[in-house]
Amino acid sequence: MIQNERVNLVAPCGIDCGICELYLCKDHKDLYNHLLSKGFPATKIPCKGCRNIEGYCPVIPEKCETYSCAEKEKATFCVDCTSFPCSKLMPSVDKAETLPHNMKMFNLCRIHAIGAEEFTKESVKIKATYYKGTMEIGKGPKL
């Protein structure tokens, strides 16, 4: 079990629930109301983070299969699993402009390289680069 409350908000797949709008809306009434207007039920937001709700993410109708797999494998993060990387972490262009699923592999590699606590210090910049950065061929994404 993860003792650090902030690190506990990083899902096994590497998505940082601590910077997700569904979590952050607890402190931002305008964001909360915006999410309600987008169809998120009031019973599911604000989200408490993947680990705290045992994989029942508000954006999917059932328990997350990746979360269940990590539980079964007793992996704190997917990178700790002997099958890493597996097809559940495979990036996909589908919904890449709005969902953070393509960030999983990079996030998990950063968690492996620097630890989960240090990762939480840079995850905001990682997310901003993913959504707002521009790709410079030969140099990578720039914010």
Domain ranges of the chain: 7-138
pLDDT at position 78: 97
pTM: 0.89
- pLDDT tens for the chain, 143 residues long, are 678 999 999 999 999 999 999 999 999 999 999 999 999 999 999 999 999 999 999 989 999 999 999 999 999 999 999 999 999 999 999 988 888 889 999 999 999 999 999 999 999 999 999 999 999 999 989 88
d(CA 24, CA 48): 9
60 Cβ contact partners less than 8 Å away, ≥ 6 residues apart: none
pLDDT at position 95: 86
d(CA 95, CA 102): 9
pLDDT at position 1: 62
d(CA 27, CA 68): 29
